[in-house]
Amino acid sequence: MLGGVEAGGTKFVLAVGPSPGRITARHTIATRDPATTLAEAAEWLAGHGALAAIGIGSFGPVELDRTAPRWGFITTTPKPGWANCDIAGYLGGELGAPVGFDTDVNGAALAEHAASGAIGGSLAYLTIGTGIGGGLVLDGQPVHGIAHPEVGHIFPRRHPQDREFAGICPHHGDCLEGLASGPAILARWGASLSQLPADHPGHAIIADYIAQACHTLFASVAVEEIVIGGGVAQTAGLVEQVAARARALDAGYLPGSARHRIIRPRLGGDSGIVGAMMLAEAAAKA
């Protein structure tokens, strides 16, 4: 049996099963302080017997360099109490199992790539929710440089109707996350995007910022497909609006334009936890 942990800033999704495609039990807990949350996660996972491996897809930033002393840590996150948290070390130690570890969005990208049936190929997964993150799969493998991609912290051009809002990112102010995440939308307009009237300018503003991120990915790393998930992305018509705006930004220039796609997750809300189980499967085979 494998164990999976999708560690998010709002909730942890836990799962066990013999393979990523066969999850036999799952459980969701609230993300509280690290000691409480990780102890509860370990207790639930341990209740399902010995595990061959655990896969963790975590909110970040995280340390992915296996040669680094703090591999498996959540590092400089602004989430109170979670900076410098040894999430992989704690869960691996408590459960006595090897750990596969990556970002939550890289895990989701792996799962969506597998669900696409592509051999090799390229895909980006963007989550637009409490935060904004992006995972990349190129030639079937998640992208790691000296760290992991931080797509939520690129700087888009300001929309002409959105000049005054300072942005909410504590590090960068008006980066993509500071402008287009769920909390940024709430801070600016006092409601979630899905609660705003259909003719509210917020829909076009947020679609423009996300489309700029998609164009950046198409232009810089030449991915074929971008999958957009997360709570904000569930707003009716948003993904379609993003796709149309990204095509307009491209203006027919990019050599891969005809093959570029922006879609909703094939796995719905399961991309992250299936990706975590894939990380566990790889760790069990290592």
Give residue 157's domain range: 107-267
159 with 71, same domain?
no
Instruction: State the Cα–Cα distance between residues 209 and 159, nearest whole angstrom.
Output: 8
81 with 155, same domain?
no
**Rounded to two decimals, what is the model's pTM?**
0.93
Instruction: State the Cα–Cα distance between residues 94 and 63, nearest whole angstrom.
Output: 20
192 with 218, same domain?
yes
Q: Residue 139: its pLDDT value, please?
A: 87
56 with 114, same domain?
no
- H/E segment holding residue 109: helix 104-116
The CATH number of the domain holding residue 36 is 3.30.420.40
20 with 146, same domain?
no
92 with 126, same domain?
no
35 with 70, same domain?
yes
6 with 41, same domain?
yes
> How many domains is the chain built from?
2
Residue 79 backbone class (left: φ over 0; alpha: ψ -120 to 50; beta: rest): beta
Q: Residue 27: its pLDDT value, please?
A: 98
Asked if residues 64 and 144 have their Cβ atoms less than 8 Å apart, the reply is yes
CA 207 to each of CA 61, 123, 200, 275: distance values in angstroms, whole numbers, following the listed order: 25, 20, 12, 26
Q: Residue 78: its pLDDT value, please?
A: 81
13 with 39, same domain?
yes
199 with 58, same domain?
no
Which residues touch 267 (CB under 8 Å, ≥6 apart)?
A: 111, 112, 115, 274
233 with 151, same domain?
yes
89 with 186, same domain?
no
pLDDT averaged over 10-residue windows placed end to end, the chain, 286 residues:
95 97 97 97 98 96 93 92 97 98 96 90 93 92 82 96 95 96 97 97 98 97 95 96 98 94 96 97 95
Least Cα distance to 57 among 11, 23, 122 occurs for: 11
For 15, the 3-state DSSP assignment is strand
Q: Residue 82: its pLDDT value, please?
A: 96
- Give the orientation angle of helix 182-189 with respect to helix 201-220, to 10 degrees: 150
